[in-house]
Amino acid sequence: MNAKREPLAVVANEPVGPYALIRLERGSLEPGIPGQFFMLEAPGRLLPRPMSLCQAPPGELAFLVDPIGPGTRAMCAVVPGDRIHVFGPLGNGFNLDVSRPLLVAGGIGIAPMPYLAERLGGPPAIAGFRGDLHAEAARLLPGAEVVVEPRLVTELLPDERHDVLACGPEPMLDALRTLVPDAQLAWEAPMACGYGACYGCVVERDGRHVRLCVEGPVLQEAAA
């Protein structure tokens, strides 16, 4: 485990549409591979929350958080100077050894894409959102082709073969599993520990329950 756990100071908390981009001092933590995640303390709550790294500017780690429950709302309320414990990087990220990458993001699934795009040198990207407010987050991924509902991001998939790297809601990932069997898909699940201890984050694959934090969160169904 090259993961470390440290209290990191909040540098900035910037609204991005309905989301919050929480920028933290990096401390001695490594940014890891895009698609890996960190367990972030949710102030006042018992359990930390898993978040994939959004941006890795020099000396910082930045996370995009959607305030959907008591934990993520508490995280989105941090102010510069606060310190929150961060543990990571954890899990398996995207395989970056791809020849024709295409990034596919849905909603808050855009979170790991800016860091992924940086590491891949700005590959083509498509993104779908539920509405215009949420679509403001597309500014984190310049050059991405964007649709909002009722249009779906899968409608933007080009005909020619690409190495798809995707993150988004379950229906989107399920659709991609069928449309692009060798896609690398970043899944999410309720998680207590993030390092294989609790067996809480399993998903079913081939009739077996696999821990997303150990086997994933990026899973590839078929070999490319």
Give the binding site for another protein (CB under 8 A). 1, 5, 45-48, 71, 85, 87, 189-193, 195-204, 207-209, 214
Task: CB nearer to another protein: give 7 or 57.
Answer: 7
Residue corresponding to tokens 């367990």 = 39
Shortest Å, Cβ 75 to another protein: 13
Q: Closest by alpha carbon to 10, among 62, 87, 51, 49?
A: 62
The percent helix, strand, coil of the chain (3-state, each to 5) is 20, 35, 45
Shortest Å, Cβ 28 to another protein: 14
Contact in structure between 123 and 105 (CB atoms under 8 Å):
no
Shortest Å, Cβ 199 to another protein: 5
Task: CB nearer to another protein: give 10 or 47.
Answer: 47
Task: CB nearer to another protein: give 12 or 198.
Answer: 198
Q: Closest by alpha carbon to 112, among 32, 180, 54, 199?
A: 54
Task: CB nearer to another protein: give 77 or 199.
Answer: 199
Q: Closest by alpha carbon to 88, among 34, 40, 21, 43?
A: 40
Shortest Å, Cβ 31 to another protein: 20
